[in-house]
Amino acid sequence: MIHSITLNLPYDLSGADWVKVSAVYRSMNGWLDEHSSWFGPWGSERFIAASAEPSGLLVEGNVDPLFFRGWMTKLCAKLTAALGKEVHDAEL
């Protein structure tokens, strides 16, 4: 089952902020440079992937729901620290 969440990060962040976001991506467990995703390529049996959309940063994953929730909590905390503004579910 694919889980998804849209974070309150606009697609038009500054170049400097995207560098910070990229550094956070690389620091997260499971990052695969060759796929620009975590744990496997998008659509594989186990993966987490992110894309910048007009509605915000879309993160999708095919992983255990409890794992996804915990992993997203860590991602949001790291993005918040890196960007200096609270990063959370855009629907909150």
The pLDDT tens digits of the residues spanning 40-89 come to 999 899 999 999 999 999 999 999 999 999 999 999 999 999 999 999 99
Q: What is the CATH number of domain 3-83?
A: 3.30.310
- CB-facing half-sphere around the CA of 70: CA atoms within 13 A: 6
32 Cβ contact list (under 8 Å, min separation 6) = 38, 39, 40, 41
In whole angstroms, what is the distance from residue 35 CA to residue 15 CA? Answer: 21
Q: pTM for the complete prediction?
A: 0.93
The pLDDT tens digits of the residues spanning 65-77 come to 999 999 999 999 9
Domain boundaries, the chain: 3-83
In whole angstroms, what is the distance from residue 88 CA to residue 68 CA? Answer: 14
How far does CA 18 lie from the centroid of its chain? 12
Are 11 and 90 within 8 A, CB to CB?
no
Are 78 and 28 within 8 A, CB to CB?
yes
